[in-house]
Amino acid sequence: MKPKGLTLYACDLCGGTALAEVPSSNHYSGGWPIHVCRGCGFVQVALRRSPEAIQKSWADELYRADDKARLSDKTYTARMPAVHARQVFAADFLAEAVPLKGKRVVDIGAGEGDFLAMLQGPGYGARGFAIEPSAANCRLLKAAGIEAFHGTIEAYMASGAKRRFDVATLVWTLENCQSASGVLKAAAAILEDGGHALVATGSRILVPFKKPLQYYLGANMDIHPFHFSINCLRGLLAVAGFETTHANRYIDSDYLTVVGRKAAPGTNIPWHGDDPDKVLGFFERWHRETQDHHKDA
């Protein structure tokens, strides 16, 4: 349900304020639309609550404080087979692009720590560090022997921490941030020159529809405000100072996974987004497909 008091944010990629509502999105979200930027084609939930309200929503609904059990057993856990599978995919994709043995890897939004534990394990051999805003998840990370900073990447930067890393990973995290471009810029700031960033996401705009729209859009739209195509994800990496070096074959995969290399400061990295009319047409077709064939799924 669309809450009151939402703020209309400018495009998180190009800063533009000409935003086109996707009419069909309202059908699935209780009238809380997604927007397409008229300037660059980036798809985003431009009407969002304050960062504080969104953080509270995360704490109340997903990161339930529980000292004993895995806190999200009732809602979500990285131990679900589908989540484990996508983490293995992301780890192998990263390791093929960037040999990880001995590398310092920071996982931004490390969650329950399963991904970092994998990267630290046999076959990968990385040295992991977690940045994680949930206190309950930080307890799990500590129990798993993973060093963690409790807070957001923005709080990590503000803490004055001087630690630098070879690789930053954002695994099904960037779509949930309050500013995707802000988080990638922060990731660039804590990487060594020539370091790499991995972004893995389930968003795949402008490729064949993978699920009915009612599975894709729903309540709490601003908890998942960003929806990536390859071009807009390349753009987000570029404005943060990364040249995209690797992308998976996203056309027939459930995942969109890219690796970017931090360029020398001041490098102009060209990027182009998407044609906004094509993106609007894509959602119109997706809506029609859903209504014609999958609305009762």
Q: Kindly list the residues in this chain that would bind Zn ion in the complex (CB under 5 A).
A: 11, 13-14, 16, 37, 39-40, 42
Q: Which is nearer to Zn ion, 42 or 124 (CB)?
A: 42
Query: CB-based contacts of 106: which residues, under 8 Å, 6+ apart?
Result: 128, 129, 130, 131, 165, 167, 168, 169, 187, 190
Whether 130 contacts 146, CB under 8 Å: yes
Q: Which is nearer to Zn ion, 120 or 231 (CB)?
A: 231
SS3 (DSSP) at 41:
coil
Cβ 232 to Zn ion shortest distance, Å: 8
The total of other beta-carbon atoms located within 10 Å of residue 69's CB is: 11
Q: Which is nearer to Zn ion, 3 or 16 (CB)?
A: 16
Cβ 40 to Zn ion shortest distance, Å: 3
Nearest to 271 by CA among 233, 220, 224: 233
Question: What DSSP character marks residue 75?
Answer: T
Q: In Å, how far are 143, 174, 195, 204 from 39, measured between CA atoms?
A: 46, 21, 30, 19
Helix-then-strand count for the chain, H and E: 10, 13
Q: Which is nearer to Zn ion, 78 or 239 (CB)?
A: 239
Q: Which is nearer to Zn ion, 42 or 228 (CB)?
A: 42
Torsions phi, psi of 118, nearest 5?
-65, -45
Cβ 235 to Zn ion shortest distance, Å: 8
Q: Which residues pair with 107 in a beta bridge?
A: 130, 169
Q: Which is nearer to Zn ion, 37 or 263 (CB)?
A: 37
Cβ 210 to Zn ion shortest distance, Å: 24
Helix (H) or strand (E) holding 25: helix 25-29
Cβ 79 to Zn ion shortest distance, Å: 37
Cβ 249 to Zn ion shortest distance, Å: 26
Give 121-180 as a DSSP string: STTT--EEEEEES-HHHHHHHHHTT--EEES-HHHHHHTT----EEEEEEES-GGGSS-H
Cβ 144 to Zn ion shortest distance, Å: 39
Whether 236 contacts 13, CB under 8 Å: yes
Cβ 36 to Zn ion shortest distance, Å: 9
SS3 (DSSP) at 291:
helix
Q: Which is nearer to Zn ion, 34 or 37 (CB)?
A: 37
Q: Which is nearer to Zn ion, 169 or 231 (CB)?
A: 231
